[in-house]
Amino acid sequence: MSDFALELQQVCAGYGENPVINQLNFKAARGEFIAIIGSNGAGKSTLFRMILGLLPLSAGKIIIQSHQMDSKKDFDFIRTRIGFVPQGVQGGNLPITVLESVMLGNWGASFSYWRRPTAEDKDKAAKWLEYVGLTNLASKDCRRLSGGQRQRMNIARALIREPDILLLDEPITHLDKHSQEILYSLIAACRQRLPHLLILMITHQLEEAAPLTDRIYLMDKGQLIEVGEAP
């Protein structure tokens, strides 16, 4: 098995006739933490959508855990091995508790059938809530959380399946300084708990993130350009 968790080979993707990603080549190893910076419109979020299989390729190959993504079935499977924390502090619109929201990460599509959670489901979600420091809020309506609390909940939901890849799309946007520090501490701790985990993080605040990362890339005109190893 390859040491690379993710390989992009000459990939191209975009919207309609407008290419956003242009013959991009990229490799990332298991256990790495890579920061991606770049201006708005450079293709950062498009890159994540492509990795998640939400945006089809017009050319090239995506290889995840040595498995080439060739079909919707491939991406449906691999999304169970990818955790995603969205931009901002999205908490969802469903009237569910924080514990139930975290369980969604483990259930996946089966939630659509209103599956009754098992004791094991609840225990697993409770352990990840403890990990992110939200045990006391387990029964609270997730819509009533603060921005920082929501992102910690989102991280717990993304990690409950213990994925191979974690995608963080500007996770600290709109958070105050204290909440940012808590989130960075959690991310650092994730690397200790899940040493195999590849983390890709889009950020505009490189100064705070740089000490945690292994490599830094600039995304420009649909290309990833390595700008050096993190200090």
State the pLDDT confidence band at 72, using cuts at 50, 70 and 90.
confident
pLDDT at 194: 92
- Enumerate the domain spans of the chain: 4-229
Distance between CA atoms of residues 49 and 63, nearest Å = 15
As a whole number of angstroms, the distance between CA 72 and CA 78 comes to: 10
| Greatest pairwise CA separation for the chain in angstroms | 50
- Rounded distance between C-alpha atoms, residue 31 and residue 104, angstroms: 25
Complete DSSP assignment for 13-56: EEETTEEEEEEEEEEEETT-EEEEE--TTSSHHHHHHHHTTSS-
Higher pLDDT, 109 or 82: 82
pLDDT mean over 164-177:
90
Residue whose pair of structure tokens reads 């959690």 in the numeric block = 186
* Domain 4-229: CATH superfamily, name plus number: P-loop containing nucleotide triphosphate hydrolases (3.40.50.300)
Of 91, 106, 8, nearest to 57 (Cα)?
8
3-state helix vs strand vs coil in the chain, percent to 5: 40, 30, 30
pLDDT given at position 109: 46
> What are the pLDDT digits (tens) for 97-118?
999 999 988 865 444 445 677 8
pLDDT at 19: 85
Structure tokens at 151: 């992102």
> What percent of the chain shows pLDDT beyond 70?
91
Say if residues 102 and 129 touch (Cβ distance below 8 Å): yes
Q: What is the pLDDT of residue 108?
A: 58
The answer to whether residues 101 and 142 touch, using CB atoms and an 8 Å cutoff, is yes
pTM score of the predicted model: 0.91
Check pLDDT > 90 for residue 201. Answer: yes
Residue 212 CA to residue 231 CA, distance in Å, equals 9
Instruction: Report helix angle 177-193 to 119-131, nearest 10.
Output: 120
The stretch 171-184 carries a mean pLDDT of 88
- For the stretch 125-170, pLDDT in tens is 999 999 999 999 999 999 899 999 999 999 999 999 999 999 999 9
| pLDDT (0 to 100) of residue 93 | 67
Structure token pair of residue 128 = 């990840």
* Model pLDDT for residues 203-216, shown as the tens digit of each residue: 887 777 788 899 99
Q: What is the pLDDT of residue 116?
A: 75
Residue for token digits 């809530």?
129
- 130 versus 41: the higher-pLDDT residue is 130
Residue 11 has pLDDT above 70, yes or no: yes
